[in-house]
Structure 1
Amino acid sequence: MFYWVCKYILIGPFLRLFFRPVLEGVENIPASGPVILASNHLSFSDSFFLPLMCPRRIVFLAKSEYFTGKGPKGLFSRLFFSAAGCVPIDRTSGSAAEAALVTGARVLGEGQPLGIYPEGTRSPDGKLYRGKTGVARLALQTGVPVVPVAMLNTHHVQPIGRLVPKVMRVRMRVGKPLDFSRYAGMAGNRFVERSVTDQIMYDLMQLSGQQYSDVYAASVKNGSDATRRAQEPVAA
């Protein structure tokens, strides 16, 4: 109930008025049944604009930090993301992440759309980064289609560190559903899961026009040595 109240009464009308969001290719989102909406992640506001424009309710896998914050801000975040039906992911534990994937499979089993950011975190610089294979495992385990969704300019609307969004038109683009039924029964095969994930990221790159970097966004944010070496040009 809170989801629909926010969408049509509390938040949605203001977002539509000031940001005039446009979602191209909405017909590619199935009208019913389970589907994985795999999106690039440019801004905190992505989780507002995509649900606003999608005709169906989306359940997102959200990082656990949104549910564990302290003080008034932490309380508001916890109440909002819980009421909106988000599923927390503990990104520091492999077993906890596996439990979140089980929850994601349950959401799909109930016939609901599941929203996932395969990069695992927001892009630090507007590039598209290497996807994590959880999205592929869910697709292979459940057999549901994956619909790529590209956020096009939300990093200009609300860059990392900016609290108040810049008022400008928001644009999004939905690609055609991807069918991975040819890999049925191969969930858990890391080579297949990587191949499926890379295909999803390729479609996101084509839709968004972003420059692709084959490293994890989290590594770039952490400034790891391995990331810096991976980004260095190879000598001829």
Structure 2
Amino acid sequence: MFRVEDIPYIPRPAKPTPRDRPLSRAEVKRLLLAAKNVPHLYIALLLMLGTAGRATAILELTWDRVDFHKWTIDLRVKSSGPKKGRATVPMNPGLRRALLEWKETSDTNAVVTFNGSPIKSIKTAFNTAINNANLDNVRQHDLRHTAAVWMLEGDSSIQRISQYLGHSSLDQTFKVYARYQPGFLKAEANSWLLRGLCGCAGLRSVHDHTRCCVVG
């Protein structure tokens, strides 16, 4: 007779370490330069960086959701379909200008097209550009991560970035991006100096300061 206690214990595997590969500004410049002669990839990369949108959301974007008058891009799907991590975000001047120029060559409602038709993947073109730019270990989703990290480095708040990314909760954003804030844990790192200011002023050597402020 089958008994529950006879089932061997199988431990749950540990969660993998979250991927962390933001690109530097120099790397992004090399990537865009490598994609310059592949128009559909180039505009897709600009959108991924400028909106922090996932590749799927960018490839599903249609011109009726690009509002040049309000300077906004709506990555959300109006009817049925995926809505994960999608928001309405503003366009910066450079992205708006690039989209206006790109729209002049388009005769379909899809924004990212190849030979006049919508596409479902930029994987091949993306990987080729990555190789040509001599970049290592870069995936499409890293551009979304890069955009968020750059916003934080520019002193944007976690709350605003969470909305920009379309996250369902602030906790989700904080867990991934809090450490990229310029002042993150700075006060904690410097707090031991307070004891030095109060009780170590008369000590002369580095050894004495270390004993006073760190060892206690």
TM-score where L is the length of structure 1: 0.23
Q: Which structure has more strand as a fraction of its residues?
A: 1
TM-score where L is the length of structure 2: 0.24
Q: Which structure has more helix as a fraction of its residues?
A: 2
